[in-house]
Chains A and B, each alone.
Chain A
Amino acid sequence: MKESQYETIEQQMTPTPPYVVNVLKAFLIGGLICVIGQAISFFYMIFFDFTEKTVGNPTVATIIFISMILTGLGLYTRLGQFAGAGSAVPVTGFGNAVVSAAIEHRTEGYVLGVGSNMFKLAGSVIVFGTVSAFVVALVKTVLVMLGVVTW
């Protein structure tokens, strides 16, 4: 069998993924996670001394904590299977990436297993997040120095 023949057979056999349904599921679940996040930030603003400027930190921490607990209980996997990107793109995906890697490598020991593999996936998020934040801050500083925008 030629390579091209194999490819055509393979393409015929592979089921086409339901893109529209997947996008809708991701939109709905991702949106739901954001609604929960908004509710948590309102909770912090109403019952504690947080303003809209400062409420981001505790809200993100809480959301990550919840997703970590759900991952540990094995519930986040189900959500991920159903919603796909909708569960990975919000900050909950970060918590999930950290804990699932830690659980996966638990048998290899605490140092070489959990410790060294915990940030296997989330490490790139941290590195590129920090680098892009630095670049954005640099651009803004230059623009402020030139007098184009103000802080």
Chain B
Amino acid sequence: MVRRFLGIAICLLLLSACGAKEKIVAYDEQDEKTKEIRQEIEKMNNIHKAKIVVVDSDIIVAIEVKPLHSFKEQKIASDLQKKLEKKWEHYDVLVSSDFKLLWETDKLMSEQNKQKVNEKIEHLKKLAKEET
């Protein structure tokens, strides 16, 4: 009985993990830059989840790479960062594969107050630079 239950549970877990859809969420879906960034991310097959925030001159992209690529996640992030920096030279681009940034940008998605969003972005930039 226990074995059967365990077997079913493992199958369900595996299937639900495999069936997870790719999720790219943006702060402002109508923004032109956001659409281009989304296309850029979709072109890279190794990104599983992404949150895009484009406000004024700041571009923040938090990514989660697919499990098999997690050893190269920093390289994937820096590649995307270079691509975006090349495209928008005068913007402050930050691409990160850090879980903290993904979590915080996810909270930003429902924030309506633009001043608060700006404050949060400044805070996130500081956090990303933190080494110790």
Contacts and interface: CB of A to CB of B under 8 A. Distances in A.
Contacts of B99: 42, 45, 51-52
A51 B128 contact: yes
A45 B98 CA distance: 10
A54 B131 contact: yes
Contacts of B130: 51, 53-54
A52 B64 CA distance: 12
Interface residues of B, number: 10
Contact of B132 (A42, A46, A52, A54): A54
Interface in A18-73: 42, 45-46, 49-55, 57
A68 B98 CA distance: 30
Nearest to B131: A53
A45 B124 CA distance: 13
Contacts of A45: 99-100, 103
B102 to A, nearest CB: 10
A132 to B, nearest CB: 21
- Interface of B, secondary structure class, is helix
Contacts of A57: 132
Contacts of B100: 45, 50-52, 55
B8 to A, nearest CB: 21
A145 to B, nearest CB: 21
B64 to A, nearest CB: 11
B125 to A, nearest CB: 12
Contacts of A46: 103
A146 to B, nearest CB: 20
Nearest to B132: A54
A51 B127 contact: yes
B67 to A, nearest CB: 14
B132 to A, nearest CB: 6
B108 interface: no
Contacts of B101: 51
A122 to B, nearest CB: 23
A49 B101 CA distance: 10
A49 to B, nearest CB: 6
Given A42-B99, A45-B100, A53-B98, 5 more contacts: A45-B103, A46-B103, A49-B127, A51-B127, A53-B131
25 contacts: A42-B99, A45-B99, A45-B100, A45-B103, A46-B103, A49-B127, A50-B100, A51-B98, A51-B99, A51-B100, A51-B101, A51-B127, A51-B128, A51-B130, A52-B98, A52-B99, A52-B100, A53-B98, A53-B130, A53-B131, A54-B130, A54-B131, A54-B132, A55-B100, A57-B132
